[in-house]
Amino acid sequence: MNSPVLVDREHEQRALRELFGRPGPSMAVLYGRRRVGKTFLLQHAFPMGHLFHFTASDATPELNRRALLEAVSRWSGAEIRTQDFPTWRRIFELLLELGNDEPTAIVLDEYQYLQGGRDENVDSALAAVWERYANRRPRGRPFVLVLCGSIVRVMERLDAAENPLYGRLDWKARLEPFDYLDAARIAAYPLVRDRMLAYGIYGGTPRYLATIDLGRPLADNVIRSVLPPNGNVRIQVETVVSQEHGLRDLSEYNAMLSAIGAGSTQRNEIAAQTGLAPTFAFRSRLEKLADLGLIDATRNFGASSSEPYRYRLADPALRFYYGVVDRYRSELELDDPAEIWRRHISPELDAYMGLIFERVSRQAYLRLRSRLRLPIVREWGRWEGRDRHREQIEIDIVARRTDGRMLTGSVKWNRKPVGISVHEKHVDALRRLASSGYAWAREALSREALFLYVAAGGFAPGFAKRAEEAGVRVLTWSLDELYSPE
């Protein structure tokens, strides 16, 4: 197992340390899905001797209030009687008086669990106390209060205009899972293909990636931690929904994720696969899964707002579990996971990695854009459907640049170099869509447009030169180039 290291959080760490070095009080909000490393970041952003860190639990506000007071007593060494602090206002007054003699950082982790009291709004109590007490601290003495949480929709609303804390935040950030390149700093296998496969299976969640033992082949790690019913990564992934506060009918949420993982992308397909009626409640559950960041809801590029959404699992670890592991659930209960991997899962990996590699291509463009002086993209998308002759078309990359011009392309998770036919088929698909009335496809065929081809196994000699004979600009990236040093 890898030793914990702070990866890809330099910007957030620097911002928090700047707050800690600023004279006077500051309030910050940090949020994101579970296990993306929020607590780990906060514990490394402030000096330990000056940090008070309390993690609330999914319990009643009264129990959390008592636990918080006991933690303050242990940290400060002061005797605190819980009956002297019957309200959140009194507790926040106590917290803001901590460390008057030295710079202090206070972290209220899983802040959303403090909510729900019968007679008192926690946000209102904090806002009132902050207004009165923050400026009473010794002049110039740094003090940082960080509200941290994992229920994204609750934490996002802390600086909404209707929230009592509106206008009082000095910094706010959402912590996202790692992209493919930062994931490789933990899953640092010598072969870049293994690094990409590790991202496709474990995703960008630090807790999952940290289970990888680099002294073992990737397959051994997957067989040990992802496939068996008692695998530590599998247990964490399959309980993702149950860990979310306030969700009911967990079996229906899990059924939806399973249907999407199995390939159902539209609402009616998901309903048919799960046996659930496509009611308002069904739509609300899909929206909630999207709010939690567990699924992506997208439309075809250029589609109107009336076109139905397509749904896909947002995180590679979820995709692998619901799209692959869940399909072999019965076999994995009875048979050796190594045998299931050898007979079934390993042969399917290349097909599975296709959509993962599309996601990576967008991440790579953001990574390489500055170094290669590429145009900024305003809107990313893809397109799938039928042309006017009812023939199926799928375009992996469709994007609008900030200069108004188009960027389109194709993504291949291949082992052997691809030939010029990839470009020819892509251009033919654009022509068919242009003749079917899609204006963006006509723009994508102009000489001002840009073509991007990403192929894991590279390209045949002369690919780019032949593609550019029509006077267009072409980018070609292999797997090695995606991992090249910046």
Give the start-to-end residue ranges of the domains of the chain. Answer: 10-174, 180-354, 375-482
246-285, pLDDT tens digit by residue? 678 889 999 999 999 999 999 999 999 999 999 999 999 9
Residue 133 has pLDDT above 70, yes or no: yes
SS3 473: strand
- Give mean pLDDT, residues 189-216: 95
Report which of 14, 75, 73, 29 is spatially closest to residue 49, judged by C-alpha positions: 75
Tokens 């109590």, residue? 125
What is the rounded distance in angstroms from the CA atom of residue 351 to the CA atom of residue 66? Answer: 53
Q: Supply 87's token pair.
A: 């309200």
Superfamily of domain 10-174: P-loop containing nucleotide triphosphate hydrolases (3.40.50.300)
366-417, pLDDT tens digit by residue? 999 999 999 999 999 999 999 999 999 999 999 999 999 999 999 999 999 9
Provide the total of helices (H) and of strands (E) in the chain, helices listed first: 22, 12
Helix segments in 373-485, DSSP class H: 421-435, 439-444, 463-467, 479-482
Residue 460 or residue 10, greater confidence: 460
Radius of gyration of the chain (CA): 25
Instruction: Please state whether 116 falls in left (phi above 0), alpha (psi between -120 and 50) or beta.
Output: left
Cβ burial of 101 (10 Å; 0-12, 13-18, 19+) is exposed
Among the residue ranges 77-81, 113-117, 248-252, 374-378, the one predicted with the least confidence is: 113-117
What is the rounded distance in angstroms from the CA atom of residue 301 to the CA atom of residue 444? Answer: 12
- Give mean pLDDT, residues 279-302: 90
What is the rounded distance in angstroms from the CA atom of residue 397 to the CA atom of residue 91? Answer: 52
What is the rounded distance in angstroms from the CA atom of residue 144 to the CA atom of residue 141? Answer: 10
What is the rounded distance in angstroms from the CA atom of residue 148 to the CA atom of residue 109? Answer: 5
Residue 164 has pLDDT above 50, yes or no: yes
Residues 6+ apart with CB under 8 A from 168: 27, 127, 130, 131
SS3 211: coil
Architecture of the 375-482 domain = 3-Layer(aba) Sandwich (3.40)
450-469, pLDDT tens digit by residue? 999 999 999 999 999 999 98
Residues 6+ apart with CB under 8 A from 43: 51, 53
CATH tag for 180-354 (out of 3.40.50, 1.10.3470, 1.10.10, 2.60.200)? 1.10.10
Query: What integer pLDDT is reported at residue 3 of this predicted model?
Result: 44
Query: What integer pLDDT is reported at residue 23 of this predicted model?
Result: 86
301-351, pLDDT tens digit by residue? 999 988 989 999 989 999 999 999 999 999 999 999 999 999 999 999 999
